[in-house]
Structure 1
Amino acid sequence: MSLDLLQLDQIQEARRQIEICNACRYCEGFCSVFPAMTRQKAFADGDITHLANLCHNCRGCYYSCQYTEPHEFALNLPAALAEVRVASWERLIQPQAVARLFHAQGVAMAGLLIALLAGFFWALAALKPDAGDGFYAYLAHNTMVALFVPAFVTPLALIGFGLRSYWREVGAGPLRMAAVWAGLHDAARLKNLSGGQGQGCNFEEGDRYSDRRRIHHQLMMYGFLLCFASTSTATVMHYGLNWPAPYPWWAPPKLLGVPGGVMMTIGAIGLGWLKTKADPALGAARVWGGEMAFILLLGLVASTGLALYLATGTGLVGPLLALHLACVMTLFLLMPFSKMVHGFFRLTALIAEANTKAQTKAAPKA
């Protein structure tokens, strides 16, 4: 995808700062950006995109740097890389106008979608199926499948095309399975949210270290995976074991989904609170609202799911089901354009970095 003038300026500014960092190398032991940076002296546009997506915005380098303002170099590497990183998502996932709109008006856009979809699902629920228990007394299983499968698969396809373009842009080369496992290992530990050194993150407390951001990210990530596992297990039970919902509290979908929802809710509250404490000048300030909207959306998905579970057998099930399904579908539809996409790109960046390291190691020495 071609770069517009703004993106070219952002990449050029990031390149200027990276070249200074590469000459200094004081932060060499920090997150995975710095070891990757030291492999070369000149940086193509794809190299800058790769380094930007390796950055987890822990901000440790900023508070350790001697060349930040008022120094004439005026380095602010976390912000420079954040601008390039967001621009790469907008450029590589089409249509990019939707991503730019969400980043600018995320709360309004998500709120409008939720309201419209909740009304749609409430109207569908008025046409109750002839038979069904639990949720299926309000909305037939086949109707849910017909609506949600395209809403989930289509955004994933858009993300897949974007990741393919990213892989080509950064020149990661033929994929090695060892690199996949290495990237998954780093992502599972969220290693780089502690600066790669285990001291913690400088995200919300300036020059003081804290692991709170890493902890809340882990709660969110593993809570989301538990909820996804709950849905996947329910699908297997429905089609493979002929055991449709509703399920008792001791069934796998409940044992996975309820803790997952609790973890996501706590994670969303924590991440939203930390974001209010962080300095917006050390990130991509223009997308602050969109990032907060994404956190709120994840929290709504989890909290409405828990509320729906607690309301089982009451008259609140109908409206709560419509609201929960609207939140879930909004999350799916906005997945390629919200910060949800950062997980896919960051994992791909970690895999690409491990892949490049493996290729460099295997290359014959001159």
Structure 2
Amino acid sequence: MKFIFLVIAFLMSSSYLKANNKIICDTTYLEYHELINQAERYYFLNSNVDSSLAYYDKAFEQYSFIFLKDLVNAAQICVYERKLKFREYLLKGFKFGLQIKHLNHFPLLKTLTDDLFSDTSFMEQAILNRKIYLKNINYEYLLKVYDLGIDDQIKKSQPDEVYAIEKRRNIQKIKGWINKYGFPSSKLIGIDDKDIFKNIGKPNFDIDNRKYKFSSKIDYYTTEDKSLSNTISMILLIHNQCTFLEFKEILYTAMLNGEIHPREIGCLYDNMYRDVNSIFYICKYPDVQNGLFYLNLFCDYKKFSIDKEKVNNLRSQWNIVEVEVDEKKKQFEEKYGFKLFYGFWKCM
């Protein structure tokens, strides 16, 4: 197993993946993530605003799909540094799921809502960008993910040994979907939005209505609209502690396509070490001394003695920024009102 992991690491560091006897060259999202990582390093470690924004701009200009969190982070930097460019980043964000209501969750951005609402030019373009976003969503796929997520929540109450079988079935079903549609993520099925189907005149399909078709006992289950990502699919993957090993090539290919963020992959990797129902694991996970990502909110990292060098080395193989940058970002949240972490369990 260690050998397999090292081979995967080599493939990643060499920026290619061999699959189906073909070489898939790195012409996609590895560079995107490196540009964003550089933007974060320049700002949070070096306080170099102009260089940071230059890297953000290069990523945003080169790629048709942008992770919404990156646009929002760039906008927050601009607001804090009193640069008007925040309007450009927010406006572009509407192409990837942003709504004015999201700004209320950001201390640095919520004061802008009244001015933006009253700006006719901004709102007209925002509405047009929103239409582009809604047009790009695969609603058929999203509904399948909703239904499987709801079914998974219902079956969680079964005995562990029975639920373990159900989880494995879910994984096989998701693999089939990936072969047909692609990876179920915000790029294909949009970010979490309780009212997404209402936008196309089908409110009964929205999750807070849809779930009652299956059960009246899962009131708690809903989307995480503050996450700026798709968490429903992540929950399904998190529930199977073997997901990383079973999906390793799928995850890497999805990352190349911009269909999953590498930090989400790190969360799935660390999920193997949570020891949740471990007696029902069907996989042998790698030696923890190979490193961890430190991206899983419920992994008890105190149990392990992993130095930062190993953590950063593993992160670098998946184009994830160093721990030191994350630590600085947390300081900016605490001191200056930024909000910089998103996704399921804030892994992004």
Tell me which interval the TM-score lies in, with the shorter structure as reference length: under 0.3
Higher RCO structure (Cα 8 Å, ≥6 apart): 1
> TM-score by structure 1 length?
0.25
Larger radius of gyration: 1
TM-score, structure 2 normalization: 0.26
Larger relative helix fraction: 1
